C-alpha cells in the first residue's frame, strides 16, 4: 500500500524545508548535533608516566569492553604531564612515576591529596647493551670510566630524580655528571643505549625487561634513593570524574595487578597519608 502523507507529516516537512532554506547552517548544526548525541562514545583522557605505556595499553581493551568507555592516553615524563595539566591539559586521570609531580598538582589544586592512590612500585637498575664494550659490567664504580651515561632529565621525569639521587648518595655523581646525557623520559634514556649513543643508562627494571638488545647489569639498592612509587588520581576538573574513579578501581583488580606483575611492577594499593 503506497504511503500517504497526513497533514501532520506535511507540516513537519514544510518546517524542515524552511529551516534548511532560511537557516542552512543552523539546520546542519541541529542534524550534526543530533547525530553526535546518538553516536558519541564516552572517553577518558589518561595522562601517564611513559614507563607505564605497555601495561596500560595491554589492559585498556578489557576496561573498554567492560564499560564501553574509550581510553585515550598521553604518555610522557611525569613532570612534563603535570605541567600540561597545570596549564589546562584535558586530563581525567594522572598517573605519575613519583611523588613530586603529584605534589606539584596538589599544591595547585588540580588533584586532592586524600584521593591519591599509590598504585605500584618499581626498581632502579643500570642497563647496558648486550653486545657493547660493557657487556660484563658489574660494578657501579665502572660508570666513572664510561664515555656517556643516560638518565631521564630530573626536571622532566622522576626516574631522573631517582637516578641522580642514587648516584649522588653512592658517591659517583660528581665524577659522571658532565658525561651524563639527560633524556626526555626513561624510555628515551634506554633507547640511547639501544642505539649506541651511550654506554649505559640508569632506568627502571620494567623498561629493560621489554627492551631488545639491552639487559640489566646491576640493581641499585633502594636505600640509595626515595622509594619509587606511582601515585594516581582523578583530576579535579576532569570531564568524566565518575568514570575516572572507575578506571582507577579497575587498575587495582586482580586482572590488572597480574599485568603489572608481568611487566615487573609490584602492587602497593595504599593511599598517601
Give mean pLDDT, residues 207-220.
Answer: 92
Share of the chain above pLDDT 90, in %: 75
pLDDT digits (tens, 9 = 90+) for 29-85: 333 333 344 346 799 999 999 999 999 999 999 999 999 999 999 999 999 999 999
Q: What is the mean pLDDT of the chain?
A: 86
pLDDT at 176 over 90: yes
Q: What is the pLDDT of residue 40?
A: 63
Sheet holding 229-234, edge to edge: 70-76, 43-49, 93-95, 229-234, 117-121, 266-271
Q: What is the pLDDT of residue 146?
A: 93
pLDDT at 1 over 70: no
If you ran DSSP here, which 8-state letter would residue 221 be given?
P
pLDDT bracket for residue 137 (50, 70, 90): confident
**Is the overall model pTM greater than 0.85, yes or no?**
no
pLDDT bracket for residue 202 (50, 70, 90): very high
pLDDT at 13 over 50: no
Q: Is the CB of residue 232 less than 8 Å from the CB of residue 251?
A: yes
Q: Which residues of 217-244 are buried (b: 16+ CB within 10 A; e: fewer)?
A: bbebeeebbeebbbbbbbbeebebbebb
Across the chain, which distance is largest between two alpha carbons, in Å? Answer: 92
Which has more pLDDT, 103 or 36? 103
- Vertex 203: Cα angle to 262 and 152 (nearest 5): 130
Q: What is the pLDDT of residue 2?
A: 47
* Cα dist from 89 to 8, 33, 42, 85, 193, whole Å: 49, 25, 18, 4, 32
Cell 626536571 -> residue: 155
Q: What is the pLDDT of residue 70?
A: 97
Amino acid at each position: 500500500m503506497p504511503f500517504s502523507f497526513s497533514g501532520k507529516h506535511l507540516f513537519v516537512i514544510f518546517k524542515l524545508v524552511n529551516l534548511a532554506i532560511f537557516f542552512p547552517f543552523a539546520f546542519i548544526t541541529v542534524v550534526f548535533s543530533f547525530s553526535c548525541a546518538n553516536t558519541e562514545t564516552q572517553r577518558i583522557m589518561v595522562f601517564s608516566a611513559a614507563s607505564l605505556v605497555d601495561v596500560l595499553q595491554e589492559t585498556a581493551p578489557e576496561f573498554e569492553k567492560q564499560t564501553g568507555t574509550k581510553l585515550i592516553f598521553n604518555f610522557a615524563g611525569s613532570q612534563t604531564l603535570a605541567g600540561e595539566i597545570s596549564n589546562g591539559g584535558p586530563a581525567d586521570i594522572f598517573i605519575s612515576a613519583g611523588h613530586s609531580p603529584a605534589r606539584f598538582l596538589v599544591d595547585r589544586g588540580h588533584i586532592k591529596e586524600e584521593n591519591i592512590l599509590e598504585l605500584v612500585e618499581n626498581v632502579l637498575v643500570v642497563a647496558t647493551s648486550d653486545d657493547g664494550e660493557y657487556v660484563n659490567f658489574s660494578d657501579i664504580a665502572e660508570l666513572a670510566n664510561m664515555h656517556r651515561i643516560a638518565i631521564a632529565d630530573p626536571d622532566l621525569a622522576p626516574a631522573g630524580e631517582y637516578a641522580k639521587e642514587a648516584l649522588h648518595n653512592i658517591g659517583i655523581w660528581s665524577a659522571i655528571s658532565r658525561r651524563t646525557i639527560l633524556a626526555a623520559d626513561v624510555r628515551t634514556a634506554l633507547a640511547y643505549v639501544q642505539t649506541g649513543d651511550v654506554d649505559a643508562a640508569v632506568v627502571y627494571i620494567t623498561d629493560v625487561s621489554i627492551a631488545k638488545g639491552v639487559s640489566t647489569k646491576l640493581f641499585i639498592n633502594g636505600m640509595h634513593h626515595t622509594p619509587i612509587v606511582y601515585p594516581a588520581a582523578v583530576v579535579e576538573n576532569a570531564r568524566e570524574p565518575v568514570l575516572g574513579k572507575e578506571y582507577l578501581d579497575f587498575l587495582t583488580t586482580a586482572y590488572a595487578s597480574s599485568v603489572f606483575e608481568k611487566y615487573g611492577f609490584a602492587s602497593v594499593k595504599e593511599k598517601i597519608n
